[in-house]
Amino acid sequence: MPHFVDTSPAGECIFCRLAAREIPSAIVHEDDLTIAFMDIGQVNPGHVLVATRRHADNLLELTDAEAAAVMQTARHIALAAQKAFPSAGLTLLQANGAEGGQTVRHFHMHVVPRHANDGIELTWPRKEPGAAVLADYALKLKSALALPPAPSKD
């Protein structure tokens, strides 16, 4: 992950300022809910960030409409990147919170064309807790899904 960390307050973060045209950027796409721009720390040509236009710190603060719009924009960017910068693979990466690897507290998704030996490593320890533990995890999630949803910001 990059070493840059934006510690600006909500509404004044680098992506809010970028969306407001207060700082320069190479914008690729924008609509009512999203803005897509070239990542200044390009891993591979075509590395784009898709962010919400409205400031939301993370995935949990998005509306359903914003979440859908980000994925739709990311797909459009991925299709364009494949034409402009043909690659063998593609990684979509979205991080939440410092512990999750988020470096700018404004929801965004990386769209990264991938090539063999490009230096990106996405690894984690495989724990395999067993069928009974997985069934318990699934039950807890199903119970949480059955709870009334939080009020929507839509």
Instruction: Kindly list the catalytic residues.
Output: 108
Cα(143)–Cα(90) distance, integer angstroms = 34
Residue 130, Cα to own-chain centre: how many angstroms? 30
Helix, coil or strand: residue 145? helix
Cα of first residue to Cα of last residue in the chain, in angstroms, is 32
Residues 6+ apart with CB under 8 A from 10: 16, 55, 57, 105, 106
Alpha carbon distance 69, 29 (integer Å): 12
DSSP 39-67: -TT-SSTT-EEEEESS--SSGGG--HHHH
